[in-house]
Amino acid sequence: MDWQLLIVSGIKIVGFVFMAVLPLVALAVWAERRVSAAIQDRVGPNRVGPFGLLQPVADGIKFLLKEDFTPNHVRKGYYWLAPALVMVPALLTAAVIPFGSSIFGEPLVIADLDVGPLFVFAIASLTVYGIVLAGWASNSKYPFLGGVRSTSQMISYEISLGLSIVPLLMIYGELNLSRIVQDQAQNGWALLPLWGEGLSFKGFVLWIPVIISFIIFTTSMFAETNRLPFDLPECETELVAGYHTEYSSMKFALFFLGEYAAMIIGSGLAVTLFLGGWSLPFGWLSPESADAHVTWWQALIHIHVFFGKVIAFVLFFIVVRWTLPRFRYDQLMKLGWVFFFEIALANVVLTALLLMWFS
- Split at pLDDT 50, 70, 90, the class of 291 is low
- Please check the confidence at residue 258 and state whether its pLDDT lies above 60: yes
Find out whether 224 and 124 touch, Cβ atoms under 8 Å: yes
Structural domain range at position 230 = 3-358
Q: What is the DSSP letter of 309?
A: H
Angstrom CA distances, 258 to 45, 141, 202, 211, 241, stand at: 22, 23, 40, 29, 16
Q: Which of 139, 267, 176, 253 is nearest to 214 (CA)?
A: 267
- Please check the confidence at residue 358 and state whether its pLDDT lies above 70: yes
Paired residues of 103 in beta bridges? 106
Convert the pLDDT of each residue in 328-354 to its tens digit. 888 888 888 889 999 999 999 999 999
Q: What is the DSSP letter of 327?
A: P
Q: Looking at the chain, how many residues does it have?
A: 359
> What pLDDT shows up at residue 180?
92
> What pLDDT shows up at residue 233?
67
- Please state, in angstroms and rounded to a whole number, the distance separating the CA atoms of residues 110 and 128: 24
Q: Which one is predicted more confidently, 349 or 283?
A: 349
- Please check the confidence at residue 235 and state whether its pLDDT lies above 80: no
Cβ neighbourhood burial of 69 (10 Å; 0-12, 13-18, 19+)? exposed
Convert the pLDDT of each residue in 55-79 to its tens digit. 888 988 888 888 887 778 888 888 8
- Split at pLDDT 50, 70, 90, the class of 289 is low
What is the average pLDDT across 220-230? 83
Convert the pLDDT of each residue in 8-45 to its tens digit. 888 888 888 888 888 898 899 899 889 989 888 888 88
Find out whether 47 and 105 touch, Cβ atoms under 8 Å: no
Phi then psi dihedrals of residue 53, to 5 deg:
-65, -25
> What pLDDT shows up at residue 323?
87
- Please check the confidence at residue 110 and state whether its pLDDT lies above 60: yes
344 contact partners, CB below 8 Å, separation of at least 6: 159, 160, 163, 164, 166, 213, 216
3-state secondary structure of 167: helix
- Split at pLDDT 50, 70, 90, the class of 5 is confident
- Please state, in angstroms and rounded to a whole number, the distance separating the CA atoms of residues 113 and 121: 13
Q: How many other CB atoms are there within 10 angstroms of residue 109's CB atom?
A: 25
- Please state, in angstroms and rounded to a whole number, the distance separating the CA atoms of residues 274 and 45: 34
Single-letter residue type at 238 = E
- Please check the confidence at residue 283 and state whether its pLDDT lies above 80: no
- Please state, in angstroms and rounded to a whole number, the distance separating the CA atoms of residues 20 and 32: 18
Phi then psi dihedrals of residue 115, to 5 deg:
-130, 45
The reply to whether omega before 229 is within 30° of 0 (cis) is yes
What is the average pLDDT across 100-129? 86
Q: How many other CB atoms are there within 10 angstroms of residue 76's CB atom?
A: 11
Element (DSSP H or E) covering residue 102: strand 102-103
User: Given phi > 0 = left and psi -120 to 50 = alpha, else beta, which region is 49?
Assistant: left
**How many structural domains are present in the chain?**
1
> What pLDDT shows up at residue 290?
63
Q: Give the CA angle between residues 95, 91, 303 to the nearest 5°.
A: 55
Convert the pLDDT of each residue in 183-222 to its tens digit. 898 888 889 888 888 778 888 888 999 999 999 999 999 8
Q: Which one is predicted more confidently, 259 or 341?
A: 341
